[in-house]
Structure 1
Amino acid sequence: MKKIALFNHKGGVGKTTLTVNLADAFNDKGKTVLLVDADPQCNLTSFYIDEDQLETLLGDSDNEDSADTLWSAIRPVVVGRGGIKEIPHWTLPSKNIHLLPGDVLLSDYEEALPAAWTDSFARRTRGYDVTTALSQVVNQVAESVEADVVMYDVGPNVGALNRAILLDCDYFITPVAADLFSLRALTTVGRSVSKWVSDWATIRGMASEADQAMLPRGLPHYLGYITSAYKVGRGAQAAYRLGERYRPARSIPRH
């Protein structure tokens, strides 16, 4: 199983659209895909689940007896009332594509992550538990559906939630538009991920052998960028600079 995220802190570059299309492409190649909507905006979830069903899911997600969204699954860990809860996944008709529904309340999880990061540096077990809660849920479901590929859909930021997600990934790709803002975004993404990987290596290095076994490796490999919305003329200069400074994404390895 390989985990992949399309990650850029700049919005409007087609992360969710690319995630949907890549999932279909993997499925066409005979791969089983697990989609994880880890963006509190829930765009990926709303693409697959109709509005009435989505309203019911999100309306009940903060109920202790509910277990239907990612927030429902990790809530007991975040509030300190137990371990992760098993939640149902959605399976697309006639496809080996499964979905873990997102939740606007994942923003509450993000608020808890900075303190968990500090606790992790202090070698406190709760810090590890909270930081890896989402990873634990994803691993559990991925194993149950025998997923070949896990794809995270993430929000456009370099916050604590995306830090936890990227450190759980094997690969990440940066979708960009052909403009100068995307050029700047690539630099910021690289700097942020480098700092996260370095800090996580320190955390893992201080953890006990038993704790290290449950912690992600935290070594996401950069596959490159994917351009979209290219326009001849206005986008030419920025696209040229992107091509000069960065290599395009290689084909994702088949496993």
Structure 2
Amino acid sequence: MQSLAFFNNKGGVGKTTLACNMASYFAREHDLNVLVVDCDPQCNASQLLLAEEMWEDLYANRRDSSNKTLLKALRHIRAGDSQVDTDLPLYKSERFGCDVLAGHPGLSILEDRFSSSWGELLQGTPGGARRTLWAGTLASSVRYDLVIFDLGPSLGALNRSVLLGSEFFMTPMSADLFSLYALDNIGTWIKSWVRDYERSAKTIREEHDDDFVEGGLPETLPVASGYLGYTVQQYVTKNTGGQLRAVNAYDRYRRQIPERAQVLAEYQAPSVVDLNIGLVPNMFSMVPLAQAQHAPISDLTPADGVRGAQVSQHKRYVARLREIGQRLAENLGIGG
């Protein structure tokens, strides 16, 4: 089993679209059993992956929805315990070919719980460490080849807990100034989190040896050597005299990304071939069409509304996404 978090604390970078389409790629092209865990309180991945009648049933009754979503897995943690409920309510995404553990808008109320758990970990408390690493416990409890965590745009306590519990992470980006700042932020915080965890883990080993062993708390975090790289979202180009030309600012920022990404290179996974995973095409109307059909880009057909000039565009988009999937698979160490 491998677990992979799609993360950027900057929003609007196409993270959820990429995460869901890569889930479909690995399920279909590599015949993997894939689970997508929607950790974003906005629940965009759940809405994309599941048909309308499914997610309407999930969220129609607020009282029942907590038992049909990720909140069920976290119900003991919500109550102050450290156990993860591994009897998970999973749903099949027929068009994407993967399973889904749906998100919930109430996930945001767990920020304080995970923040206090982190403080307890730093004080050498085993329970705080277990709560902090809940995502790793969840991923190891399910029978899937690949668990994909889709995170919201935040460096808050919830996302920290998912990142620290994941084996790998990648950073979808846009070529803009704020994405460059995001790389710096992520690098700074990952370094701090890993350092503080390892120091606290040592304290827990020394003072609570039995708890440490039985709780399955690692001495070091897998994510400390789990960075797989970045993708860059293509900017909309301008048409001049029938020729598409790149916007100067976009090119300027895109050229800076490889150097700025070096702040995360020290956490690079050993299997990484190239941190630059690829350029995600701006797929214009294809994205809302895929959202309306709850389907991956690669699975869209004329019956879904792909017509006229969109047919050739669709082929180009599918080819580009497959290239990204192949590079991501290489960086994960997954064979063809």
TM-score, normalised to structure 2, is 0.68
Contact 1:61–1:72 (CA<8 Å) still a contact in 2? no
Contact 1:26–1:33 (CA<8 Å) still a contact in 2? yes
Q: Which has the higher contact order (CA 8 A, sep 6+)?
A: 1
Residues 218/157 of structure 1: CA separation in 2 closer, same or farther (3 Å cut)? same
Extract unaligned runs of 5+ from structure 1.
Answer: none
Contact 2:37–2:102 (CA<8 Å) still a contact in 1? yes
Q: Which residue of 1 aligns with 2:271?
A: none
Q: Does 1:90 align with 2:91?
A: yes
Extract unaligned runs of 5+ from structure 2.
Answer: 238-245, 262-274, 278-326
Shift of 1:93: 2.8
Q: Which residue of 2 aligns with 1:68?
A: 68
Contact 2:174–2:234 (CA<8 Å) still a contact in 1? yes
Shift of 1:3: 0.9
- 5 Å-filtered alignment, 1:104-123, equals 104-123=105-124
Q: Which residue of 2 aligns with 1:254?
A: 334
Query: Which deviations, in whole Å up to 9, do the C-alpha atoms of 1:213-239 show, x marking residues without a partner?
Result: 422542312122110123412311111
Cα distance in structure 2, aligned partners of 1:82 and 1:178: 40
Residues 200/58 of structure 1: CA separation in 2 closer, same or farther (3 Å cut)? farther
Shift of 1:129: 3.8
Shift of 1:199: 1.3
3-state SS, counterpart of residue 222 of structure 2? coil
Contact 2:184–2:260 (CA<8 Å) still a contact in 1? no
Residue identity over aligned pairs, in percent, reads: 32
Q: Which residue of 1 aligns with 2:195?
A: 198
3-state SS, counterpart of residue 235 of structure 1? helix
Q: Which residue of 2 aligns with 1:218?
A: 221
Structure having the larger proportion of residues in helix: 2
Q: Which residue of 2 aligns with 1:36?
A: 37
Shift of 1:81: 6.5
- 5 Å-filtered alignment, 1:228-243, equals 228-230=233-235, 231=237, 232-233=246-247, 234-243=249-258
Q: Which residue of 1 aligns with 2:311?
A: none
Q: How many residues align?
A: 250
Cα distance in structure 2, aligned partners of 1:205 and 1:62: 41
Query: Which deviations, in whole Å up to 9, do the C-alpha atoms of 1:92-143 show, x marking residues without a partner?
Result: 3377511111111111222211111111223334323432334333332x23
Shift of 1:240: 1.2
TM-score, normalised to structure 1, is 0.87
- 5 Å-filtered alignment, 1:160-175, equals 160-175=157-172
3-state SS, counterpart of residue 88 of structure 2? coil
Greater alpha carbon shift after TM alignment, 239-248 vs 68-77: 239-248
Q: Does 1:187 align with 2:189?
A: no
